[in-house]
Amino acid sequence: MKQLTALLLLLLGSVPVVAQSFSAGLSPRLMAPIVTDATIGQGWGAAVWSRVELDDGKGLALQLGWQEIRGYNSAVEILDTRVLPEGNTWWLEETARLKRLQMWLIDLSFWQQAWNENSPLTLEAGMRYSFGVTGTGNYQFRNIYSIGGATTVSRRGLGEEVLRGHDLGIRIAGYYKLQERLSLEAEAYQGFLNQWENFEGFAGPTTYVTTFSIGLALRLYQTKSL
């Protein structure tokens, strides 16, 4: 955790010295993702965050986190038959079913305290880039040759063959101050990229990351007048 805090401090090194205050902490959260067919899935996440105040009651927030979303049930099956000029036949069967998504995320947001700088409510809006997106589910690639009846089958987890690996989207969040170092947070996120890779020649399944979450924001570090 110290290393991550140090990394955030380093990332914020470019913030002008006009910043009035700096704070950093961590947030555990529970997620309610919208998964296939508008059903609600489950998930959890955690992030380290930092905020700088650039003017009274407003500033920038940076967040680095990890999350897992469960409940997807999206699937695709590709059947390809090729007859070769020698009269041999090659069947290709590829099936994939997505159950969970795991990803790293980095958020850059603008925050402002509602109404005035003494308000217990802080609102945030910004962009999120998710990376290292991996899926959990079933993936099978089967080749059948009529040449000697050879068959090769490979089964493994979902990987870069069918999943995109990154995401970009917008987020809005609200923080309500419960105590001096503890806030209740709520967040909504909408991803712009289909997490399935593009399939050539046909419309495959679509899975856009949409999440709602609630959590606690714990402030571990704070300094005034940077």
Partner 1 sequence: MRSLLYTTSLILSLAMAWSCQQEPELIVHESSYIPPLYTQLEYRDTGQIDYSAQEFRLSLPFIGDTYNYGWYDGPVTTAEGPAMQINIVHDTNWFVTYLFGVRFWADSEEESLWTAGHLKNMFEPGRVFLFGQGPGRVDLSFAHEGRITHVDQRSRASYLEEPEGQLQIVSTEDYSYLHPIEGHIEGLLVHCTFEGKLGLYDPALTPVTEHFKTDAALTLKNGTAAFLVTYE
Instruction: In whole angstroms, give the CA distance from residue 134 to residue 102.
Output: 5
Q: Does 75 bind partner 1 (CB under 8 A)?
A: yes
Residue 81 or 222 with smaller CB distance to partner 1:
81
Residue 21 found at the interface with partner 1 (CB under 8 A): no
33 in helix, strand or coil?
A: strand
How is the chain split among helix, strand and coil, in percent rounded to 5?
Answer: 5, 65, 25
Piece of the chain touching partner 1 by CB under 8 A; list 15-23, 50-58, 70-78, 178-186: 70-78
User: Measured from the CB of residue 143, what is the shortest distance to partner 1 in angstroms?
Assistant: 6
Which one of residues 102, 146, 190, 210 is an interface residue with partner 1 (CB under 8 A)? 146
Is there binding between residue 202 and partner 1 (CB under 8 A)? yes
Q: Is position 106 an interface residue for partner 1 (rule: CB under 8 A)?
A: no
The answer to the question of residue 16 lying near partner 1 (CB under 8 A) is: no
Binding residues vs partner 1 (CB under 8 A): 36-37, 39, 73-90, 143, 145-147, 199, 201-205
